[in-house]
Homo-oligomer: A and B are copies of this chain.
Amino acid sequence: MTSTPIKIFSGSSHPELAKEIADCLGVPLSDMHISRFACGETYAKPMETVRGMDVFVVQTSTSNVNEDLMELFIMLDALKRSFAGKIHVVMPHYAYSRQDRVATPREPISAKLVADLISTAGADHLISMQFHSDQEQGFFNYPVDNVNTNKLFADYFMQKNLQDVVVVSPDAGGAKDAKKFADLIGANLAIIHKTRPAHNESEVTHVVGDVAGKTCIIYDDLIDTAGSVTAGLGALRKMGAVGDVYLAAAHAVFSPPATERLAAAGFKEVVVTNTVPVPPEKQFEGLKVLSVAPLLSKIIQSVHEAKSVTNVLNFN
């Protein structure tokens, strides 16, 4: 199996991560030509032969998600027509992951749509991290590896030797995941949720669970505009959480005004990963970015050698 060369290509969404993964694997990044015509259309083609090879295309989803996706589809079409052996998409932050169900009438399930489009374009396999809901694995009619990041965060926080810790889910929907993380680091659980007491009154934020005097880690899958987590911090303070409050989340989406909010909020530390690029202008004091490249490169290696990835994936 290892006799076929491995090729790592990068789209334009996150070349730093692709480079880091290639470095971890000890292979050069392969050359994908990507350009744009005057008319706005994207053009892409691999500049090296891929015939019969095991090809990995690193393309995450950023604030330019639609461009990221169309560029990915075109790269996949070019690879498929160039007789690539197996085509694996490495999309650490899965596009449209939150649009995973019909919550109000006539909504799309865009997360399912994207799964189908990626397959139509030519992919045989997807590697992603921390889907918004685990059930999205079932959206794929082809193999998918959804890599959980709980252990990455657990390892990081265990090193700190924090005492009397409560893991706080910022909403009811995240309770299950927060519970898993809490179990992993031996912490208690609290949940924030909001209610609107009556039709004309404003929303009230509740904290269920005991947080008074505890060290808190607000735990979520992603940070978007950071509105609810900064509100959550306030609610924790009101409930007596006078000590350190950490914020941890896999995907640093950081839509405006996330950076401003987080810089000003008073978290002890905001811990994210680099599944989404965090450019200098979005960085701030107290931000810690954990790299997923070592983890992803181990998985790529296992996939390429057709070895079990259980020991890599199975920490939860």
Contacts and interface: CB of A to CB of B under 8 A. Distances in A.
Contact of A49 (B139, B141, B146, B307): B307
A154 interface: no
A172 B206 CA distance: 16
A288 B44 CA distance: 35
A225 B47 CA distance: 27
A206 B189 contact: yes
A195 B178 CA distance: 13
A39 B135 contact: no
Contacts of A105: 45, 82, 308, 310, 313-314
Nearest to A254: B39
A170 to B, nearest CB: 12
Interface in A72-128: 73-75, 77-78, 80-83, 85, 95-96, 98-113, 116-117, 120-121
Interface string A162-179: 000000010011011011
A82 to B, nearest CB: 4
A129 to B, nearest CB: 14
A31 to B, nearest CB: 11
Contacts of A77: 108-110, 112-113
A132 B50 CA distance: 27
Contacts of A81: 102, 106-109, 137, 143
A49 B308 contact: yes
Contact of A70 (B63, B70, B141, B206): B70
A52 B172 contact: no
Given A77-B113, A102-B137, A108 B193 contact: no
A135 B131 CA distance: 12
A35 interface: no
Counting from the closest, the 6 A-B pairs by CB-CB distance are: A52-B306, A49-B308, A135-B135, A38-B255, A112-B138, A66-B70
Interface of A: 1, 4, 37-47, 49-53, 62-67, 69-71, 73-75, 77-78, 80-83, 85, 95-96, 98-113, 116-117, 120-121, 133-139, 141, 143, 146, 169, 172-173, 175-176, 178-179, 182-183, 188-191, 193, 195-196, 206, 208-210, 224-225, 253, 255-256, 302-303, 306-310, 313-314
17 contacts: A39-B255, A40-B64, A66-B67, A81-B102, A83-B303, A101-B138, A102-B137, A102-B146, A109-B137, A112-B138, A135-B136, A139-B139, A169-B172, A172-B175, A175-B175, A189-B206, A209-B209
